[in-house]
A = this chain, B = another copy of it.
Amino acid sequence: MTTNSYWFNDYLTPDLTLQHSVKNVLYTGQSKYQKIEIVQTGTFGVMLVLDGKPQSSEFDEHIYHEALVHAAMLTHPNPQSVYVAGGGEGATLRELYKHPSVKIAVMVDLDDQVVKVCKKWLTKWHMGAFDDKRTILQFKDAKAQLENETTKYDVIISDIPDPLEGGPAYLLFTRNFYKMLSQRLTPDGVLVVQAGFTTPGMSQVFTAIHNTLEGAFPIVAPYQALIPSFSSTWGFIIASKKYDPRKWSSAHVDGMIRQRVKGPLRFYDGVTHTGMFSLPKGLRESIDKETMIITEKKPVFAY
């Protein structure tokens, strides 16, 4: 039953649509790369939508961003330099600065218009992190930018939109890109990638990314978290040269948080960590069966 008049349709598949009531449209514009919208939904509050796909919502962006950032940061023993590909909302910066060890964070986003809009409308997301002195913000293609430099980072966070057909992001999910990222990491270095749906039947992008990363890194640790506004569990993958976050007990994670993290965490803690990395049997089987290697010639696309 509903009495709402305005709706945003998130077309999950041709056979499944999630309809969000819309209370207000705060911003709508078209950048060089994509359509940008800030809408206020009835259930999940303010939401950033790019090319018709929800990116994050006021209600649960903390789940997404805490899940993305903290496990990776703790996997490195002392992360001082961090590279963020994408991350336009600024919430990835916000979370990584909860680690006082960080001395520099280079964020490279393709679309300055997205960042401009987020800076204005999503203050609850970035909380001023764009203005932190440690932030170096560049508007470039992360792939081209990394190819042209040799700096090495402790942690690289790939927080880019799903690889949509015709969209700008799909080349940043390939084997060659991941091999280059491996070269841009220090020996203790850690990569984390947002990696799409893990819902049964919709996990093809996730398992393909996982399989591709295994060709570039010795340790590849997949995990997931429920993002209610995506109506699904969402996948992340840590790839590392030395350390494996799956070996930690809940108590060990809680101990590291106490020692190394400043600022409140609403989602992530030791038990949550254990839950995130304990994937259900079916998903682990899908990962094991996956044979696809993502390349420029044979890319993978999200719906």
Contacts and interface: CB of A to CB of B under 8 A. Distances in A.
Tell me the interface secondary structure of chain A in the complex.
Answer: mixed
A28 interface: yes
Contact of A226 (B9, B60, B274, B280): B280
A225 interface: yes
Given A11-B1, A16-B19, A43-B201, A267 B279 contact: no
A274 B278 contact: yes
Contacts of A14: 1-4, 21, 42
Interface in A3-42: 3-11, 13-22, 24-25, 28, 41-42
Contacts of A3: 1, 11, 14, 52
A282 interface: yes
A177 to B, nearest CB: 28
B284 A279 contact: no
A278 B272 contact: yes
Given A266-B281, A267-B281, A11 B22 contact: no
The 9 closest A-B CB pairs, nearest first, are: A15-B42, A275-B278, A231-B231, A15-B21, A25-B25, A17-B19, A1-B3, A274-B278, A15-B43
Interface of A: 1-11, 13-22, 24-25, 28, 41-43, 49, 52, 59-60, 63, 199-202, 225-226, 228, 231-233, 250, 265-269, 271-272, 274-275, 278-282, 284
